[in-house]
Amino acid sequence: MTRIVAVVQARLGSERLPGKVLRELPAADPAAAGLTVLDWCVQRLCRAATLDEVVVATSDEPADDDLAAHCTSRGYAVARGSLHDVLARVLAAAEAHEAEVVVRVTADCPLIDPDVVDRVVAQHRDREDDFTANRLPPPHHRSWPIGLDVEVASIGALRRAAAEATERAHREHVMPYLYAVPGRFATSVLECDLGDHGTVRWTVDTPADLAAISGLVARPAVRLESAWTELLDEWYADPSLAAMNDEVTQRTASDVDGRD
């Protein structure tokens, strides 16, 4: 059987919301009491049937010591590597856990959906692609909510990207080298088949995002295991949630962290 490992990319040094992945979400669900943005991400991801393991990949900088300690205290597998060469960090984490297929998720996506992960992985395996995702950056149209992003790559393709990619954006954002040049790798995109929800913003990158997600998970019907479609119903039922972060600008795969 092919070994499939999810690597959750995480760090504490966010420019727009420092320490965001360890911010606690005030959920209504008693099972989610005290859980952080990262905890929601990892624990929802662990429900994906196609995954053999989930590992958090953070930096080896002292600034991320608290993050690594949090993972250890929760019993999450954790790997550490370069702060800015995230491609090398993710690859090292995947190799350390003997991945043959790598599922990349970012820790600022607390509502990542296990069924969506399973569907992207299934398409990747069925088509025998090098890279499969449920979204690509503009000009490609996004149909899934921001925050349900899943990227899947074979370990061979990821190794080739790590060996060949030289642009800083390709190394910081991990996967762009795999889809930047049409035909260089076999790629495909899984579109949402339940309508166009690409303007829904469920990632946590700013204080406004944190407020919106906190408001959503505080709704009585929301549970840690709620499907994304159930979360979507709750989101649309309360227009004030979207109003909290509808003016936040989504960063792109060409943006890089200018800090050294």
pLDDT above 60 for 221: yes
pTM: 0.95
pLDDT in tens, 53-81: 999 999 999 999 999 999 999 999 999 99
**CA-to-CA separations, 31 to 63, 69, 116, in angstroms, rounded:** 29, 22, 22
**In this structure, are residues 78 and 63 in contact, taking their beta carbons and an 8 Å threshold?**
no
- Asked if the structure places residue 172 within a domain, the reply is yes
Domain span including residue 46: 4-199
Among 13-17, 129-133, 194-198, 209-213, the least confident range: 13-17
CATH classification of the domain holding 127: 3.90.550.10
- Asked if the structure places residue 216 within a domain, the reply is no
- Cα 216 from Cα 70, distance rounded (Å): 24
pLDDT level of residue 259 (50, 70, 90 thresholds): very low
pLDDT in tens, 76-122: 999 999 999 999 999 999 999 999 999 999 999 999 999 999 999 99
- Asked if the structure places residue 236 within a domain, the reply is no
pLDDT level of residue 260 (50, 70, 90 thresholds): very low
Structural domain count of the chain: 1
pLDDT level of residue 257 (50, 70, 90 thresholds): low
Mean pLDDT of 123-138: 97
**CA-to-CA separations, 184 to 125, 155, 170, 188, in angstroms, rounded:** 19, 16, 14, 12
CA dihedral (116, 158, 167, 206) in degrees, to 10, reads: 30
Pick the more confident residue, 83 or 260: 83
- Asked if the structure places residue 244 within a domain, the reply is no
- Asked if the structure places residue 126 within a domain, the reply is yes
- Across the chain, mean pLDDT equals 95
Mean pLDDT of 229-235: 98
Per the DSSP assignment, residues forming a β-bridge with 77 are 55
- Asked if the structure places residue 12 within a domain, the reply is yes
Query: Which amino acid belongs to residue 36?
Result: T
pLDDT above 60 for 205: yes
Among 4-8, 14-18, 108-112, 232-236, the least confident range: 14-18
- Asked if the structure places residue 222 within a domain, the reply is no
- Asked if the structure places residue 210 within a domain, the reply is no
User: Where are the alpha helices (H) located in 75-167, listed in sequence order?
Assistant: 86-96, 114-127, 155-164
